[in-house]
């Protein structure tokens, strides 16, 4: 009998078409296949799904995959079906007859994997079905939803602890791409995984280029970024409000972009239609609130833009991680303003969470502000937050164009003192007016033209003071407070005033546009140009064939072949099925289904080239 490691590798090669496991995949798969529990933290695109799919195939019974997004289950099932696996889903969008048939297949052990939402799993009748069915394992995807300290807490997930109680002999594996130390601990405890192993595979996504810039005419910044770096690419633009989503999508449409809105205020059928189009098209931009994206398997998203800061670093990491899942270059751009921070703090303060959780959310927001204002490598700050390590990456804005810093000790003392002298009730705009000594009636009416900080800040301009205040908020020396976002001094700010410790901050300086354009293009604007020097005409022909095959089956094109597979085909131009099968990502089922069709595309392309060359020679004669 084949031992489990050999059997797992054989499945990887035959079914999935990959020559070797990556990182800790083999170790995790062996652990779970042996019937043991596990918590897996692995970056988006790192191959988490193999860590439960292959054990489900190796163990007797059905693998039950718990996923929070009903809308994406069918796409996941389609992708597995393309691999020749027996997969299905059960959700409220299905016809009763289809649900009954799938339940029968579960009971008979006639499925390899079944996807369900936690709400469905927790139904008494479904639990009864599972108790009388052969089960290979339970996989809890997006496991950060379990934790109240995570960034996307969902109450139903907390009830999944009953799996340990009702199915003690069925292994459980919880998986996520984003969880800091406290969140990991909470997940393991809530799901009773303390008797299992925790696998942390690292957080780095080296193919993503991170950039965070000050918000200034955000629509024009967005449009310039798309036109210069991603004119024909698929991407996601995140907005804070539903109104902003609708207005931004409509405006991008007037500028010649294919842009669709997505938010919870839309009719469910409209959201589903837009999501389906995004998944199936190559150059559609989805403008969305954070309600969009979890579980999206689309590998060729080339950029993610945030028009407002997210809630915390976990959310930022997860949302930017939806770009470049295929491993090819991608861009993540965040437009940042202090007003965004004020608004996020207001959301936290006005929420229904307990005070202890609000304190944690404020700390998480502070960490994100620190990332935004950092003068060092973005990736280093990001990875260190998760307890990972990195040297300067050379692939973020601060590495490519290191910001200037200056001794801000005295200026910071003036800024903090001005907040104190004005009663800690005013926002940045007013405080800057006081520091600059503006002849404003409002300042006079409050008597602030008579205080010691009035007019003492003329060595800096308005923009420089605004930048300095953002950094003081990021360092938590000041914090937005009250209905109008007045800046209040924190205990750390008081300690700084007393100690007069040296403080160096980022110096505001407009960056040269030309340098930035060139580097953004290199980052991801033409991803196909950096992969093995493919034949671009052949690549386009194969994309057309892929789209034709996908439309005939009503599935997203990437479930036929990932873009990376097409790039390798366009570079290597295999001439036989055997050679085609050596391409990473082409398993046996896909080779049998599509091999002849893509060999024909390659053959026709080669013939056309020969004819063109022959014609050119005749003309020359």
User: What average pLDDT does the chain have?
Assistant: 87
Strands 285-288 and 486-489: unpaired
Q: Confidence band (pLDDT; 50, 70, 90) for 513?
A: very low
Q: Confidence band (pLDDT; 50, 70, 90) for 612?
A: low
Report, as an integer, the average pLDDT of 305-328: 91
Q: Give yes or no on whether 208-400 and 405-506 have one common fold.
A: no
Beta bridge partners of 176: 41
Q: Is the pLDDT of residue 519 over 60?
A: no
Share of residues in the chain with pLDDT > 90 (%): 57
pLDDT at site 521: 40
Q: Tell me which residue of 15, 10, 7 sits closest to 81, measured CA to CA.
A: 15
Distances (CA, A) of 432 to 230, 429, 466: 38, 5, 7
CA–CA gap between residue 299 and residue 585 (Å, rounded):
13
Report, as an integer, the average pLDDT of 217-242: 94
What would be the CATH architecture of the domain defined by 531-620? Orthogonal Bundle (1.10)
pLDDT at site 105: 95
Burial classification of residue 111, based on how many CB atoms lie within 10 Å of its CB (0-12 exposed, 13-18 middle, 19 or more buried): buried
CA–CA gap between residue 370 and residue 475 (Å, rounded):
6
Q: Is the model more confident about 251 or about 480?
A: 251
Residue 610 tokens, joined: 């020969």
3-class DSSP assignment, residue 283: coil
Report, as an integer, the average pLDDT of 283-291: 88
pLDDT at site 523: 42
pLDDT at site 532: 55
CATH superfamily name and code, 208-400: P-loop containing nucleotide triphosphate hydrolases (3.40.50.300)
Q: Which tens digits make up the pLDDT trace of 92-140?
A: 878 899 999 999 999 999 999 999 989 999 999 999 999 999 999 999 9
Write the CATH number of the domain with boundaries 4-200: 3.40.50.300
Beta bridge partners of 479: 488
pLDDT at site 148: 66
Q: Provide CB contacts within 8 A for 324, sequence distance 6+.
A: 45, 205, 207, 208, 301, 302, 330, 524
Indicate the domain borders of the chain. Answer: 4-200, 208-400, 405-506, 531-620
Share of residues in the chain with pLDDT > 70 (%): 91
Cα 92–chain centre separation: 27
Residue 285 tokens, joined: 């931009």
In this structure, which topology does domain 405-506 adopt according to CATH? Arc Repressor Mutant, subunit A (1.10.10)
pLDDT at site 615: 56
Q: Provide CB contacts within 8 A for 46, sequence distance 6+.
A: 22, 23, 177, 201
3-class DSSP assignment, residue 213: strand
Q: Is the pLDDT of residue 196 over 90?
A: yes
Distances (CA, A) of 202 to 385, 516, 518: 12, 29, 30
Query: What is the gyration radius of the CA atoms in the chain, in angstroms?
Result: 27
Q: Tell me which residue of 336, 330, 447 sits closest to 396, measured CA to CA.
A: 330
Q: Is the model more confident about 355 or about 415?
A: 415
Q: φ, ψ for residue 123 (rounded to 5)?
A: -65, 140
pLDDT at site 514: 36
pLDDT at site 470: 81
Residue 32 tokens, joined: 């779970």
* Reported pTM: 0.79
Q: Is the pLDDT of residue 517 over 60?
A: no
Q: Is the pLDDT of residue 511 over 50?
A: no
Q: H helices of 255-388, where?
A: 268-280, 313-320, 338-350, 355-373, 378-385
Report, as an integer, the average pLDDT of 7-31: 94
Q: Is the model more confident about 539 or about 483?
A: 539
CA–CA gap between residue 434 and residue 421 (Å, rounded):
10
CA–CA gap between residue 234 and residue 304 (Å, rounded):
9
pLDDT at site 355: 81
CA–CA gap between residue 420 and residue 411 (Å, rounded):
14
Q: Is the pLDDT of residue 242 over 70?
A: yes
Q: Confidence band (pLDDT; 50, 70, 90) for 433?
A: very high
Q: Which tens digits make up the pLDDT trace of 349-367?
A: 888 878 877 877 887 888 8
3-class DSSP assignment, residue 407: strand
């Amino acid at each position: 009998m084949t031992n489990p490691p050999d059997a797992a590798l054989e499945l990887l090669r035959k079914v999935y078409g990959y020559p070797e496991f990556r990182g800790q995949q083999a170790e995790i798969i062996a652990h779970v296949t042996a019937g043991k529990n596990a918590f897996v933290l692995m970056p988006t695109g790192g191959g988490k799904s193999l860590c439960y799919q292959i054990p489900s195939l190796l163990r007797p019974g059905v693998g039950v995959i718990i996923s929070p997004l009903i809308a994406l289950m069918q796409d996941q099932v389609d992708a597995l079906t393309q691999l020749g696996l027996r997969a299905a889903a059960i959700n409220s969008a299905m016809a009763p007859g289809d649900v009954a048939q799938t339940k029968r297949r579960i009971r008979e052990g006639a499925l390899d994997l079944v996807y369900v939402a936690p709400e469905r799993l927790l139904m008494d009748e479904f639990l009864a079905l599972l108790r009388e069915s052969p089960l290979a394992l339970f996989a809890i995807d997006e496991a950060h939803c379990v934790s109240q300290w995570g960034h996307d807490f969902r109450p139903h997930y907390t009830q999944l602890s009953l799996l340990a109680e009702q199915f003690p002999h069925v292994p459980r594996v919880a998986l996520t791409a984003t969880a800091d130390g406290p969140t990991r601990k909470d997940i393991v405890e809530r799901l009773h995984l303390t008797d299992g192993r925790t696998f942390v595979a690292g957080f780095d996504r080296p193919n993503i280029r991170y950039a965070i810039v000050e918000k200034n005419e955000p629509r024009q910044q967005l449009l310039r970024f798309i036109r210069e770096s991603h004119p024909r690419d698929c991407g996601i633009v995140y907005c804070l409000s539903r109104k902003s989503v609708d207005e931004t999508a409509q405006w991008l449409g007037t500028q010649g972009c294919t842009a669709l809105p997505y938010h919870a205020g839309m009719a469910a059928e409209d959201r589903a239609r837009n999501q389906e189009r995004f998944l199936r098209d190559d150059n559609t931009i989805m403008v969305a609130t954070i309600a969009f994206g979890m579980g999206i398997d689309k590998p060729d998203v080339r950029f993610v833009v945030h028009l407002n800061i997210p809630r915390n670093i976990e959310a930022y990491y997860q949302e930017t991680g939806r770009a470049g899942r295929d491993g090819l270059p991608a861009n993540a751009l965040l437009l940042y303003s202090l007003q965004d921070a004020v608004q996020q703090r207001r959301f936290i303060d006005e929420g229904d969470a307990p005070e202890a959780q609000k304190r944690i959310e404020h700390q998480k927001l502070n960490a994100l502000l620190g990332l935004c204002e950092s003068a060092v490598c973005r990736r280093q700050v990001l990875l260190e937050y998760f307890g990972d390590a990195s040297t300067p990456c050379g692939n973020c804005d601060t590495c490519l164009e290191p910001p200037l810093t200056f001794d801000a000790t005295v200026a910071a003392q003036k800024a903090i003192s001005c907040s104190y002298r004005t009663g800690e009730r005013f926002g940045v705009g007013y405080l800057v007016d006081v520091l600059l000594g503006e002849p404003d009636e409002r300042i006079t009416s409050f008597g602030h033209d008579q205080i010691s900080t009035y007019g003492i800040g003329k060595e800096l301009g308005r923009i420089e003071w605004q930048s300095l205040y953002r950094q003081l908020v990021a360092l938590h020396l000041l914090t937005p407070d009250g209905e109008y976002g007045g800046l209040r001094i924190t205990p750390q700010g008081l300690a700084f005033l007393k100690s007069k410790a040296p403080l160096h901050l980022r110096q505001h300086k407009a960056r040269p546009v030309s340098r930035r354009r060139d580097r953004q293009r290199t980052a991801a604007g033409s991803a196909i140009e950096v992969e093995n020097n493919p034949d671009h005409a052949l690549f386009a022909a194969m994309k057309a064939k892929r789209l034709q095959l996908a439309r005939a089956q009503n599935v997203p094109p990437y479930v036929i072949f990932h873009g990376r597979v097409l790039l390798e085909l366009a570079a290597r131009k295999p001439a036989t099925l055997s050679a085609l099968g050596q391409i990473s990502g082409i398993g046996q089922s896909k080779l049998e289904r599509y091999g002849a069709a893509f060999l024909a595309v390659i053959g026709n392309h080669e013939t056309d080239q020969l004819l063109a060359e022959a014609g050119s020679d005749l003309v020359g004669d």
